[in-house]
A and B are shown apart, each in its own frame.
Chain A
Amino acid sequence: MTTRHLVTLTMALLVAPSAMADIGSRIWATGGVTTIEGSAGGGLVPWALLGSYASDEEWGGTLALGRAEVDDYTLSVTGVGLNWNNRLEITVARQTLDLDSLVFTLKDGFGLQEDELNQDIFGAKVRLAGDVLYSPWGQWSAGVQYKRQRDFTVPRAIGARDDSGTDVYFSGSKLFFAAAMERNLLVSLTARASRANQGGLLGFGGDRNNSHELMMEGSVGLFLNRQWLVGAEYRQKPDNLGFASEDDWWDLFVAWVPDRRLAVTGALVNLGDVATLEDQQGLYLSLQGSF
């Protein structure tokens, strides 16, 4: 009994001061979670929200680990982010794609021995106007993602033109209070100019198209309460390579935000056809810590 109380008290002392002071003042879950590209958003689509809980007089940061396992590939993501005054978000992410089954296609078709692809993504996002909760017209942000392939051999062999590229996007997010079944509804719409193949993992540009194209991305999420968000995302994608057609991505997600420090996201993802391997579906799991 005494021991248990002591443990509880110690835990409370450890957690309480930091929880009260440093974590940032924005309302729970309004930092979104870390996307596979490092920017704050859902799983696949960046939102107008900036990561962490920093409000207008605060700093904040995030650390995230994500993993998507689809039929023939595994994507791992590590991301860090900083937020200054809920005005500017700076992010860095490293993606590793395990090629699993594609290894054989590459070996037989191209004589290549690669078994994974790596990419770094440096992101910046500026909140231009509004607040996702309080502004009637929502929150609007603009961002860039500079992406750099670390292993260009495979993308080059299948026809990608460049080993780096920059996506530019404009995003709006709005929370509608008591919108459906008295629950809060979060809606985001993002327009992205991109020439990335499979998000950049297969390089940039190609024989079919080599210039930036405008892609629409969107997401809708319903807060069951302030800790649970369920929703769906859709992401339109370019189709630049003659080697294999590229499909749009979508997912169904559940995010659990027990407090400001932790966010856990699970999703059913559908990446469509990826580099000749058809109908790639699977599970996505992401853990995010905020500070």
Chain B
Amino acid sequence: MTNLNLKPLFVALLSGMALVLGGCQSLNHKPDDSLYQQLGERAGIANVVEDLLYLIVDDERINRQFKGMDVAQFHHNLTDQLCELSGGPCTYTGREMRELHSHMTITNTQFNALAENLILAMEQNDIPTGAQNRLIKQLLPLYPDIRNL
């Protein structure tokens, strides 16, 4: 019996939430690029990617996976990709992630090493903790593609 009484309250609560969420949405006419701004726009992202490359070259756990790659091309593509993922005005034009990594058999150790280097590269560029977390959150869906799971 008490359940019946709770139902209108629940509906009212849901409608209230919908109004609040809808309100937020209609306020933001253009896509949210706050993360892109926090990363220092494309130039800031390019610096992070450059420092990431230096860290990768020095990292015995993963540098062999990057042997023979076109460094300039890699830098350009990854910068575009992070720019796009962070809400910036870029388009990633590289190969599809799963296809790109399919022959590499990347282990969790190697994936962790890359994640660590990315965090260190962001720290070297004074990217705030919150922006670091938000970028990694955007990158998470790529995990199964990169690990070929």
A56 within 8 A of B: yes
Q: Do residues A177 and B137 form an inter-chain contact, with CB atoms below 8 A?
A: yes
B109 proximity list for chain A (CB < 8 A):
25, 55-58
B113 proximity list for chain A (CB < 8 A):
25
The interface size of chain A toward B, counting residues with CB under 8 Å, comes to 25
Q: Do residues A178 and B133 form an inter-chain contact, with CB atoms below 8 A?
A: yes
B4 within 8 A of A: no
Q: In the complex, which residue of chain A has the Cβ closest to the Cβ of B62?
A: A25
**For window 183-212 of chain A, which residues contact chain B by CB distance below 8 Å?**
183-184
A interface residues with partner B (beta carbon < 8 Å): 20-21, 25-28, 55-58, 86, 131, 133-136, 177-178, 181-184, 224-226
How far apart are B132's CB and chain A's nearest CB, in angstroms? 8
How far apart are A271's CB and chain B's nearest CB, in angstroms? 34
B interface residues with partner A (beta carbon < 8 Å): 59-61, 107-113, 115-116, 119, 129-131, 133-134, 136-137, 140, 143
Cα distance A110–B136 in the bound complex, in angstroms: 60
Residue among A26, A27, A134 with the most chain B CB within 10 A?
Answer: A134
Q: Do residues A27 and B119 form an inter-chain contact, with CB atoms below 8 A?
A: yes
Cα distance A226–B143 in the bound complex, in angstroms: 20
From B59, B61, B129, give the contact of A182 (CB < 8 A): B129
Cα distance A155–B143 in the bound complex, in angstroms: 51
B129 proximity list for chain A (CB < 8 A):
182-183, 224-226
Given A178-B134, A178-B136, A183-B129, 17 new contacts (CB under 8 A): A25-B116, A27-B112, A28-B116, A55-B108, A56-B107, A56-B108, A56-B109, A134-B111, A134-B143, A136-B140, A177-B137, A178-B130, A178-B133, A183-B130, A183-B133, A184-B133, A226-B129
Give 6 closest A-B pairs by Cβ, nearest first: A182-B130, A177-B137, A55-B109, A178-B133, A56-B108, A25-B112
Cα distance A248–B140 in the bound complex, in angstroms: 37
A to B CB contacts below 8 Å, 16 in the list = A25-B110, A25-B112, A25-B113, A27-B112, A55-B112, A57-B107, A57-B109, A86-B108, A131-B108, A133-B115, A135-B143, A177-B137, A181-B130, A182-B130, A183-B129, A225-B129
Residue among B113, B129, B134 with the most chain A CB within 10 A?
Answer: B129
How far apart are B44's CB and chain A's nearest CB, in angstroms? 17
Given A56-B109, A57-B107, A27 and B133 contact (CB-CB distance below 8 Å): no
Q: Do residues A182 and B107 form an inter-chain contact, with CB atoms below 8 A?
A: no
B107 proximity list for chain A (CB < 8 A):
55-57
